[in-house]
Structure 1
Amino acid sequence: MRISRLDALEVLDSRGNPTVEVCLQLEDGSEGQALVPSGASTGMHEAAELRDGDPRRYGGKGVRKAVANVRGEMAAVLVGTDAGEQRALDGRLRELDGTPHKSRLGANAILAVSIAHARAVAASRRLPLYRHLGGDEATLLPVPCLNVINGGRHADNTLDFQEFAIVPHHAPSFAEAVRMGEEVSGSLRALLREHGLSTGVGDEGGFAPDLRSNEQAVEFILKAIHRAGYRPGSDVSLALDPATGEMWGSGRYRFFKSSGIERSSAAMIALWEDWVQRYPILMLEDPLSEHDWDGWTALSSRIGDQVELVGDDIFSTNADRLKRGILERVANAILIKPNQIGTVSETLDCAAQAKAAGYACCVSQRSGDTEDTFIADLAVALGCGQIKAGAGCRGERTAKFNRLLRIEHELGEWARFAGRAAFIR
């Protein structure tokens, strides 16, 4: 089956910034489309987006160059050729780009083509995307990690830590987990209003109130869980992404939005030891900076048997960086973000390497996301049991939840829900 058409368009993400949309068509009429997301809190080792840099358009964030690369160089190489296997197509795209971080053609352009190809081939095979990528065993629905309070670079408030999430793991199905999460979110909204606090939302749909401390955010969430009729730790646990890479500078961590206090790596480790003992935290993502490898090793040794320690910026969905982490016993889980690495096959390979080493995997959105639901199918295809898709509001977030609800319905009696067993502890 040959590729008959490849086109691209500059569209908008959830922040109103430009992003790339691609349409790839096969000669049998099967078609795949893809829109790629963008992060605000990004690691320095991620694959490189290509932005125009023209201050007269979107403040320099336009993606006309990336779009032109799809319509030009990529179309010239791919149109008329055998669609082939995903790995072969992704290899051709990497070879055409010729740079370590996909900076010449743009990882945003390359990933959009890669995902569109996967969808087109799945459509040609008359298979849902999750089964095309994961095979007949792709029947496990992930536990949603719902982001209920935003801070850091994801909100204009007083919180240093970027994401405060809930994990409704004690549910019989994905649909029931979503219901539990939404009920807790509703209770949290009511609590914030009772205290005269804002219920406006941040980049990922979580509330963005001005609170006196990061700890107060946790306390509000625990109260909301109780008020919704659930037991913290037994029914619904906490997941935090402090995004400490944004707080790192000159070998220390600065609480730049709340107190201005600076902490050493040892002090941050002590903070997390204390929080894990006092709160029902199931998952800690980026509790230390990507530059703080020694700190990561020490933290993993101290509390790696008590909580899931997820490497995001430190690994960047990159198999080489993950290999170093495994050798140095850094973290025990990895966040999987396709746009950090730039192709579908490299994403699948990184997840496979993590699982082979006993690391958990959590598929994740980006803060500047789109209505594209690829990560929902990816989470089921990988059978990883965990997904971060934001809060249960804003269309670019609920699109992922709704896709998973449809997958669960489609699978019927074959559907399984990951539950608490998906998390390392």
Structure 2
Amino acid sequence: MTDVVTAVHARRVWDSRGRPTVEVEVSTRLGHRGRAIAPAGASRGSGEATDLRDGGARLGGLDVRRAVANVTERIAPALLGHPVGDQPGIDAVLDALDPSPTRSDLGGNATVAVSLAVLHAAAASAGLSTWRYLNPRPTRIPRPQVQVIGGGAHAARRVDLQDFMVVPLSATRIDEALEHVAEVYLSVGRIFAERGPALGVADEGGFWPAVARNEEALAILTDGIGRTGLVPGVDVAISLDIAASEFERDGRYHLASEDRVLDRDAWRAVVERWLADYPVVAVEDPAGEHDPESMRAFTDAVGDRALVVGDDFLVTDPARIEAAAATGACNTALIKVNQAGTVTRTARAHQAARAAGWSTIVSARSGETEDVSVAHLAVGWDADVLKVGSITRSERTAKWNELIRIDDELGGLPLAPFPIRSVARR
């Protein structure tokens, strides 16, 4: 008997930044259920699916009652009786209800929560974990990329760069990799404590950047790795989410924390020097989303020794990924299901990156919850890397711990090799 959707229920829940978001539960004729919560980003590309917020005075205009109502009143009736295992068909219904790329009518928070809930319900109907439903025989676990110091929109723009992250390179298993990350996190915490004062944490759980310049955070993170006894660039390396769209205007880069304005060439020289002086293996959005010339120049200059990752520049859009690959911009795609608005569109973006010969990073957002969907997507799609923020705060550790459980269920798998193996620095 074909299992079909019999109910779609939406409710308002809360994310890690104290903001409302949308949770959806899908029920089927054979008694199975799937549930998912939509995340939200602090910095967003202009072309991505966006949350529908209510506006007005309530909760600073951030309430989601309209998005919840859209699920209940518009989406649910259109899905009743549809085969739950037909993910492309269900996502096509969502596309037809709101064909705008940014989901300006229904809200990306509505469509992504529905689409993910359908995926989980389909997996439950098949008697499988979601990751196994997507990939019956995984051969590896995605390598973690973990925030240690936050910045940009994640930390009141105390510094310009958004994330100072680490990637464990020499670890071969997920438990060892996260142990290396935890050692670095604690080490960097001791450095900040020595410097004083402690200033709390950023949106995704990393340390608040109590520094005067962007490069100072890089130096502290490199020192923190070294103090653990791990070798910077060999055992643990650095990954930067620059999120340059947040400070690029008309091809000029405004470093507010340093009171500097740089043209394209000068800005690129700064980032290239960081890659020469510090053990950096990846740079995400080193140029603004409307500066493809610089993205191509960065990829040409450093793409042989670092991942050049497109986030705001690509917004998990298959067409944008194909276009960027054709022009030589980027060599890695950041994959965010809520940027695309549905599971099917996200899967197509991942496939487009693979077809281009790129690496892939499945990523969470700054406004997260206990939902662990991204861990299942990363394993199910055979991503190279999983990025979910820091190794602190329960909305982050929920994803890392789910990855550990998946690995345990599989009997222990090797981590995916990181495309850049070693960038040791003096």
Q: TM-score range by the shorter chain?
A: over 0.9
List per-residue Cα deviations over 1:348-396 (Å, max 9, x = no partner).
1110110111111101111111111110111111111201111110111
How far off is 1:421 after superposition? 4.1
- SS in structure 1 opposite 2:147? strand
How far off is 1:82 after superposition? 2.5
Aligned partner of 1:339: which letter?
A: N
- Out of 31, 49, 52, the residue aligned to residue 54 of structure 2 is 52
- Out of 15, 20, 38, the residue aligned to residue 36 of structure 1 is 38
Return the alpha-carbon distance in structure 1 between the equivalents of residues 418 and 293 of structure 2: 30
Match of 1:358 in 2: 357
Maintained 8 Å contact 2:322/2:356: no
> Pairwise mapping of residues 11-90 of structure 1 onto structure 2 (< 5 A)?
11-55=13-57, 57-90=58-91
Maintained 8 Å contact 1:18/1:61: yes
Maintained 8 Å contact 1:254/1:260: yes
> Pairwise mapping of residues 332-411 of structure 1 onto structure 2 (< 5 A)?
332-411=331-410
Match of 2:241 in 1: 241
How far off is 1:266 after superposition? 0.7
Maintained 8 Å contact 1:200/1:209: no
Aligned partner of 1:189: which letter?
A: G
Return the alpha-carbon distance in structure 1 between the equivalents of residues 418 and 83 of structure 2: 43
Return the alpha-carbon distance in structure 1 between the equivalents of residues 161 and 320 of structure 2: 24
> Pairwise mapping of residues 183-222 of structure 1 onto structure 2 (< 5 A)?
183-222=183-222
List per-residue Cα deviations over 1:139-171 (Å, max 9, x = no partner).
421111110001111113631111000111211
Whether 1:225 and 2:225 are equivalent positions in the alignment is yes
Aligned partner of 2:131: which letter?
A: Y
Return the alpha-carbon distance in structure 2 between the equivalents of residues 153 and 81 of structure 1: 40
Return the alpha-carbon distance in structure 2 between the equivalents of residues 197 and 233 of structure 1: 29
Whether 1:293 and 2:295 are equivalent positions in the alignment is no
Identity in percent: 41
How far off is 1:99 after superposition? 2.4
- SS in structure 2 opposite 1:417? coil
List per-residue Cα deviations over 1:263-305 (Å, max 9, x = no partner).
1111111112211111111110011100111111112111111
List per-residue Cα deviations over 1:312-334 (Å, max 9, x = no partner).
00100001111210111101001
Gaps of 5+ in 1: none
- SS in structure 2 opposite 1:392? coil
C-alpha distance 157-98 of structure 1, shift in aligned 2 (>3 A): closer
How far off is 1:188 after superposition? 0.8
Aligned partner of 2:280: which letter?
A: I
Match of 1:118 in 2: 119
Match of 2:416 in 1: 418
Match of 2:268 in 1: 269
* TM-score of the aligned structures, taking structure 2 as reference length: 0.96
Aligned length: 421
Gaps of 5+ in 2: none
**Structural RMSD (CA):** 1.5
How far off is 1:424 after superposition? 11
Return the alpha-carbon distance in structure 1 between the equivalents of residues 421 and 318 of structure 2: 21
Return the alpha-carbon distance in structure 2 between the equivalents of residues 199 and 168 of structure 1: 26
Maintained 8 Å contact 1:114/1:343: yes
Return the alpha-carbon distance in structure 1 between the equivalents of residues 254 and 157 of structure 2: 16
C-alpha distance 228-403 of structure 1, shift in aligned 2 (>3 A): same
Maintained 8 Å contact 1:363/1:386: yes
Match of 1:311 in 2: 310
